[in-house]
Every structure is written in structure tokens, then in C-alpha cells.
Amino acid sequence: MALPSFMKHIRVLESSGWIVTRKEGRVRTCALDRDAFALAGAWLSEQRALWEARFDRLDALLEGGTEDDNKPARS
């Protein structure tokens, strides 16, 4: 990866609050912001719970549908 592309990614991460950078001379040090990752982790946990519940309902619906498929059709 070229340096300008890398620096663009660093700036995006810094502006989003995910990292903090410090420059001393020619050396730039980057550190992760744990609080920002904790917020993202909490949001991802909520999304995981939401989707797991949706998939559980879909699974229950599909399991229930297979029992109905074996019943004879009404005339």
C-alpha cells in the first residue's frame, strides 16, 4: 500500500474517533480508542441478538411448515 493511501485510511479512522494519533518528529504513533470500540461492540451485540431472534423465529416457522406438508390436503 502506498503511503498516501495509508495516511488516508489513518485520517478516516482518526476522524471517526476509532484511533488517536500522535506525531513526534517523523514518527506517528497510533493508538486504538477502547471506548469507541466498546460502543461498536455494544451495538454489534444488540444486532446479533436481534438477528438471532429473527433466525430463531424463521427456524420455528420452517419447522412448523414441514409438519403441515405431511398432512393430507382438505377437499
Same domain? 27 vs 8: yes
**Domain-located, residue 75:** no
Has this prediction a pTM greater than 0.75?
A: no
Q: What is the pLDDT of residue 70?
A: 55
Q: What is the pLDDT of residue 37?
A: 86
User: Torsion over CA of 53, 55, 61 and 62, rounded to 10 degrees?
Assistant: -160
Same domain? 8 vs 22: yes
What does the block give as the cell for 37? 470500540
Same domain? 2 vs 28: yes
Q: pLDDT tens digits for 30-66?
A: 999 998 889 889 999 999 999 999 999 999 999 987 5
**Domain-located, residue 41:** yes
Q: pLDDT tens digits for 15-25?
A: 999 999 999 99
**Domain-located, residue 72:** no
Domain range enclosing 23: 1-32
